[in-house]
């Protein structure tokens, strides 16, 4: 069972920070602060990227941000499922290549608002890094606050620096947290446990097999015993709801001491729910890494609609 480790309050106010807090962190901590752009093309209707999908178009970023690409680099290259969590050794190597140190203060963001960045946040939490947070509202909030952006190209988006040179290697050490990411066997156990709840972040229509699954070969429906909890329930558009509202939202499906296992289509928006649960005060948190792409394609696993 994974226990969420809260950030050092002397450095970060919590798992989510706003633009003003980020500006203050940059001024106070300089190079110790590592800003990671974890943007991915959205596949959920109503959640559009600020950046063009065209390969030859420039990409707007917060100045100084580094590319955290969990689709092609910080992932398991041998997995058949998308962006699966890599081994601790691979994660450590990729983090060091980004110049990340053990004492780094990490802030993740994306260009939708609050969509892909919680996945990067939870990956660092899963590797035992305490001082990591998500920028509430992401790039949209940064721009809305009148802050400057920087234009980068295809090399940067492919995980390279803007000038195609390497960052100075960091000394980051991965310290894996047990069960931060779980497989279908652990999810099946959680589905029947009295003190656990499995929350499905997909839309209600997909949960009920009333809308098609976007991946070929994946059945519609849901895991028996799972609870439909679409990830927009924890959001006000592109920002996280206030803590009091999150407490009320999660109280409708779980007690304050329950273990929460989150799932979605491929392990991305499940992390939005995990972020919301962490802010609401839940400590025992897990993400089903393969999520419905795994469960729905495995004919040995039961499905309801």
Per-residue pLDDT tens digits of the chain, which is 305 residues long: 566 788 887 799 899 999 999 999 999 999 999 999 999 988 888 888 999 767 677 899 999 999 999 999 999 999 999 999 999 999 999 999 999 999 999 999 999 999 999 999 999 999 999 999 999 999 999 999 999 999 998 888 887 765 445 789 999 999 999 899 999 999 999 999 999 999 999 999 999 999 999 899 999 999 999 999 999 999 999 999 999 999 999 999 999 999 999 999 999 999 999 999 999 999 999 999 999 999 999 999 999 99
Q: Are 140 and 238 in contact (CB under 8 A)?
A: yes
CA dist 179 and 45 (Å) reads 31
Q: Provide the terminal-to-terminal Cα distance of the chain, rounded to the nearest Å.
A: 29
- Secondary structure (3-state) at 222: strand
Taking the C-alpha atoms of residue 141 and residue 127, their distance in angstroms, rounded to an integer, is 28
- Quick one: which of 56, 83, 68, 29 has its CA closest to 167? 68
- Cα distance between residue 61 and residue 50, in whole Å: 10
- What tens digit of pLDDT does each residue of 18-45 get? 999 999 999 999 999 999 999 998 888 8
Handedness of CA 90, 95, 96, 98 (dihedral sign): positive
CB 228 within 8 A of CB 204: yes
DSSP strands (E only) in 24-149 = 33-37, 59-61, 66-67, 105-109, 132-135
Per-residue pLDDT tens digits for 239-283 = 999 999 999 999 999 999 999 999 999 999 999 999 999 999 999
Active site residue 264: yes
Rounded-to-integer distance, Cα 273 and Cα 230, Å = 8
Q: Would the pTM of this model clear 0.75, i.e. be above it?
A: yes
- Domains in the chain, start-ordered, CATH in brackets? 16-157 (3.40.250.10), 181-295 (3.40.250.10)
* H helix runs in the chain, sequence order: 19-29, 88-97, 117-126, 138-144, 154-157, 184-191, 204-207, 243-251, 270-280, 291-295
């Amino acid at each position: 069972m994974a226990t969420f480790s809260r950030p050092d309050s002397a450095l970060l106010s919590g798992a989510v920070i706003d633009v003003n807090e980020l500006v203050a962190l940059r001024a106070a901590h300089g190079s110790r602060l590592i800003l990671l752009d974890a943007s991915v093309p959205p596949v959920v209707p109503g959640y559009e990227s600020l950046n063009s999908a065209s390969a030859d178009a420039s990409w707007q970023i917060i100045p100084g941000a580094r590319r955290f690409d969990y689709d092609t680099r910080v992932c398991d290259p041998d997995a058949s499922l998308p962006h699966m969590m890599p081994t601790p050794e691979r994660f450590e190597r990729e983090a060091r290549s980004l110049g990340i140190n053990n004492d780094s203060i990490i802030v993740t963001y994306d260009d939708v608002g609050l969509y892909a960045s919680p996945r990067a946040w939870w990956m660092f939490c899963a590797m035992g890094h305490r001082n990591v947070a998500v920028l509430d509202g992401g790039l949209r909030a940064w721009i809305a606050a009148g802050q400057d952006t920087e234009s980068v190209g295809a090399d940067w988006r492919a995980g390279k620096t803007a000038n195609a040179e390497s960052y100075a290697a960091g000394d980051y050490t991965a310290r894996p947290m047990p069960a931060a990411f779980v497989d279908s066997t652990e999810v099946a156990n959680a589905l029947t446990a009295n003190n656990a709840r499995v929350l499905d972040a997909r839309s209600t229509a997909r949960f009920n097999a009333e809308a098609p699954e976007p991946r070929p070969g994946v059945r519609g429906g849901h895991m028996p015993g799972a609870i439909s909890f679409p990830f927009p329930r924890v959001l006000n558009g592109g920002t996280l709801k206030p803590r009091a509202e999150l407490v009320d939202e999660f109280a409708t499906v779980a007690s304050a001491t329950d273990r929460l296992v989150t799932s979605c289509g491929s392990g991305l928006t499940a992390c939005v729910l995990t972020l919301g649960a962490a802010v609401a005060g839940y400590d025992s948190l897990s993400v089903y890494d393969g999520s419905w792409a795994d469960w729905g394609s495995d004919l040995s696993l039961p499905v309801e609609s």
